[in-house]
């Protein structure tokens, strides 16, 4: 398989070679339309205007010819239509042959080669420049060849540099596919290759973050599942000897916790790995808050507001906040819904011991357990992590704030339709 840089380099060299050949062929085969022929035709027209008529005395024609002579054109000869020499400067040039053509270079031995110009009145003007006639396309071909050589020397390191970055990107993709999720590509410049490298780095970071989150989720989920399973196992052992209604109720509670935890794990995984559009309906947010507050025995104040969103997800957001406040925040839970510009603001506040400032951001991590909390108090599970995911999927934000009268207050801000 040919390297990409070699293919690009061959393409550049081939294009230059084609340019040189085409230019040389163009100047060589265009005949009378060539710039050099047109120049000599112009010179012939000027000479015709300067020369006297054919029947003028030879001395007069000789005088005009001497005025036309130049150091670069030392030998000029004027012949009549019958090839009789009329005048000349320098050594006389031999007359043209019978088959001589107009505006043609007559190649002769003994340094007698010259340009032949057939004047309209039948006379012939022969002129020999100081140097022999050069091959017309040769200077152009040489110039283009030199340009091509310079371009070839410059093109190689340029193409090699560009494709070397692509080779580095290819190696990074292979490393990522082999399981090295720390692989990153150096981004240099602001071209398409650099943009591709940035996209690769963002994708690699996203993959690494997802895998890390899933590993952490599995580790935490296994720990959280162990507690209710242990309680169920102990209750079953005790029930086998002496059935106790309280143990049956505890088993039902543990099974409910397991069911909710599994549902939250599945929902968090779906929200984290998919970017499909939300099922957006027009939702009465005040009514939804009232239903969930009644379910959790919480007081509320709300202004009528409607927004577009997924009702099932927004219900889960409110329920998780209220249940979290009831479980970890004391015996009084208050909810508020108000409008702030083009946003709906939901606040769920409690009268618990509050949350330390350094933990107000980490509390939204899955299964986060605050420092100093007891094992039986449990972690915050996936509830608050789901709240953040749901809020962000609706274009909103959530944050944990201190409460002046003690406790914590969770504030969710969601955009309203225009």
- Domain 34-135 has what CATH class? alpha beta
CA gap 345, 322 in Å, rounded: 15
Structure tokens given for 405:
């009268």
Complete DSSP assignment for 300-323: EEE---EEEE-HHHHHHHHHHHHH
Complete DSSP assignment for 172-202: HHHHHHTT-TT------SSSHHHHHHHHHHH
CA gap 133, 37 in Å, rounded: 13
Query: Would residue 242 be called left, alpha or beta, if left means φ above 0 and alpha means ψ between -120 and 50 degrees?
Result: beta
Q: In which residue ranges of the chain is CATH 1.10.287.130 found?
A: 184-276
CB atoms within 10 A of CB 359: 14
Largest pairwise CA distance in the chain: 152
Pairing of strands 114-118, 124-128: antiparallel
- Whole-model pTM: value is 0.47
The per-residue pLDDT for 322 is 93
Structure tokens given for 296:
């959790």
Model confidence at 2: pLDDT above 70: no
- Mean residue pLDDT across the chain: 78
Structure tokens given for 403:
């409460």
Q: In which residue ranges of the chain is CATH 3.30.565.10 found?
A: 281-415
Q: In which residue ranges of the chain is CATH 3.30.450 found?
A: 34-135
What are the tens digits of pLDDT across the range 101-131? 877 777 777 677 888 888 888 888 888 877 6
pLDDT band, very low/low/confident/very high, at 254 (cuts 50, 70, 90): low
CA gap 255, 229 in Å, rounded: 8
In the 8-state DSSP scheme, what is residue 343? E
Model confidence at 409: pLDDT above 90: yes
Most confident by average pLDDT, 202-211, 275-284, 351-360: 351-360
CATH number for the segment(s) 281-415: 3.30.565.10
> So what's the architecture of 184-276 in CATH?
Orthogonal Bundle (1.10)
Contact 414, 395 (CB under 8 A): yes
CB atoms within 10 A of CB 140: 15
Q: Determine the average pLDDT of the residues in 49-76.
A: 84
pLDDT band, very low/low/confident/very high, at 221 (cuts 50, 70, 90): low
């Amino acid at each position: 398989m040919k390297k990409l840089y070699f293919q690009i380099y061959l393409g550049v060299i081939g294009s230059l070679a084609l340019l040189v050949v085409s230019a040389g062929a163009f100047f060589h085969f265009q005949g009378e339309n060539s710039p050099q022929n047109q120049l000599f035709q112009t010179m012939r027209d000027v000479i015709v205007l300067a020369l006297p008529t054919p029947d003028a005395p030879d001395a007069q024609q000789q005088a005009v010819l001497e005025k036309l002579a130049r150091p670069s054109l030392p030998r000029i000869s004027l012949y009549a239509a019958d090839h009789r020499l009329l005048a000349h400067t320098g050594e006389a040039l031999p007359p043209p042959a019978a088959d001589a053509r107009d505006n043609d270079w007559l190649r002769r031995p003994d340094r007698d080669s010259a340009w032949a110009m057939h004047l309209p009145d039948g006379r012939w003007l022969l002129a020999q420049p100081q140097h022999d006639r050069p091959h017309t396309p040769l200077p152009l071909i040489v110039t283009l060849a030199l340009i091509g050589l310079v371009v070839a020397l410059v093109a190689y390191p340029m193409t090699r540099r560009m494709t070397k970055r692509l080779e580095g990107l290819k190696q990074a993709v292979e490393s990522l596919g082999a399981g090295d999720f720390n692989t990153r590509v150096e981004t240099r410049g602001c071209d398409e290759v650099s943009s591709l490298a940035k996209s690769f780095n963002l994708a690699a970071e996203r993959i690494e973050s997802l895998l890390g989150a899933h590993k952490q989720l599995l580790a935490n989920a296994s720990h959280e599942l162990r507690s209710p399973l242990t309680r169920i196992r102990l209750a079953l052992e005790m029930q086998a000897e002496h059935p106790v209604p309280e143990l049956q109720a505890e088993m039902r509670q543990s099974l409910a916790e397991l069911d909710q935890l599994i549902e939250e794990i599945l929902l968090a995984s779906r929200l984290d790995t998919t970017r499909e559009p939300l099922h957006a309906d027009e939702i009465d947010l005040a009514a939804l808050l009232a239903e969930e507050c009644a379910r959790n025995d919480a007081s509320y104040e709300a202004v009528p507001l409607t927004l577009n969103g997924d009702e099932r997800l927004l219900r889960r957001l409110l329920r998780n906040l209220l249940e979290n406040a009831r479980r970890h925040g004391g015996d009084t839970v208050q909810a508020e819904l108000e409008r702030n510009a083009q946003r709906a603001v939901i606040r769920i506040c409690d009268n618990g011991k509050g949350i330390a400032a350094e933990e107000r951001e980490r509390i939204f991590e899955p299964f986060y357990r605050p420092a100093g909390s007891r094992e039986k108090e449990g972690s915050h599970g996936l509830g608050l992590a789901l709240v953040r995911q749901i809020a962000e999927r609706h274009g909103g934000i959530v944050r944990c704030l201190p409460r002046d009268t003690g406790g914590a207050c969770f504030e969710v801000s969601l955009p309203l339709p225009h």
